[in-house]
Amino acid sequence: MTAPDAAAATAATAATTAPDTTYPPTDRTVPTRSRERASYDREVVHAILDEGYVCHLGFVRDGAPVVLPTLYARVGERLYLHGSTGARPLRMAGRAGTEEPGLPVCLTVTHVDGLVLARSAFHHSINYRSVVVHGTARPVTDPAERTTALDALVDHVVPGRAADSRPANAKELAATAVLRLDLEEVSAKIRTGGPNDDAEDLGLPHWSGVIPVARAYGTPVPADDLAPDTPVPAYLTRL
């Protein structure tokens, strides 16, 4: 978040782990503020990515920014996106340039964990975990990788679902574009904990603390055309 915050920006936490366990920071992934909240740890990044399934994908069209929500899935150090072959960003990524086709993107995933209420309006904040990925989205053409990606996209939303649905047929595959985005220039940003009020505000009468925020799943609603005796599979009741 770019919201004002109590913590002064300090130098980014030095990587104390072996290089291969972290993403190397770059000019684009070192924040200008609240650097102590940044993380380049692969496990931290993977955990944030794996908890979500909707990202916000940014790209440049005619010189102007465009941000669209779309589904994603992680397989190792690669993210996959998909969509109709007619959708704009997928067409743009597949357009042949002078070299390998691809679309420069920024892919961001954000989880809101809490509303942080301080005594002062200024120190209000949000507890959150976000990941920002910079890179070039490229079309996936290898049939085996496309199948892996499409299964992952279904299973990323509902683990176990890909095996319990009809796989895409040739016509559907032909209508679907798949993009990959390698996890190379990546950072996470995390805020946790309570409000950071100034000492002189602690005596003010306002309640202060955190309102936890979480994602909640409701009872599965069967499709109108579903046979009434169809059992709800265990992977859904576990959600």
87 to 106, contacts with a copy of itself by CB under 8 A?
A: 87-91, 104-106
In whole angstroms, the minimum distance from the beta carbon of 42 to a copy of itself comes to: 21
Q: Which is nearer to a copy of itself, 20 or 215 (CB)?
A: 215
Bridge partners (DSSP) listed for residue 19: none
Q: Which is nearer to a copy of itself, 24 or 104 (CB)?
A: 104
Element (H, E) at 182: strand 176-182
Site for a copy of itself contains 120 (CB under 8 A) = yes
Name which position in 66, 95, 192, 238 contacts a copy of itself (CB under 8 A). Answer: 66
Distance, in Å, from the CA atom of 165 to the CA atom of 182, rounded to the nearest integer, reads 28
Name which position in 164, 174, 192, 238 contacts a copy of itself (CB under 8 A). Answer: 164
User: Total binding residues for a copy of itself by CB under 8 A?
Assistant: 107
Distance, in Å, from the CA atom of 213 to the CA atom of 221, rounded to the nearest integer, reads 24
In whole angstroms, the minimum distance from the beta carbon of 71 to a copy of itself comes to: 5
Q: What size, in residues, is the chain?
A: 239
Site for a copy of itself contains 64 (CB under 8 A) = yes
Bridge partners (DSSP) listed for residue 125: 116
Asked if 103 contacts 59 with a C-beta cutoff of 8 angstroms, the reply is yes
Name which position in 11, 96, 121, 144 contacts a copy of itself (CB under 8 A). Answer: 121
Element (H, E) at 45: helix 42-51
Distance, in Å, from the CA atom of 161 to the CA atom of 101, rounded to the nearest integer, reads 32
Site for a copy of itself contains 56 (CB under 8 A) = yes
Count of Cβ atoms closer than 10 Å to residue 103 Cβ: 24
Q: Which of residues 192-231 bind a copy of itself (CB under 8 A)?
A: 194-195, 197, 201-202, 204-226, 230-231
Which residue do the tokens 């976000």 mark?
A: 130
Name which position in 119, 180, 186, 187 contacts a copy of itself (CB under 8 A). Answer: 119
Name which position in 35, 42, 168, 182 contacts a copy of itself (CB under 8 A). Answer: 168
Please give the structure tokens belonging to residue 140: 């996936």
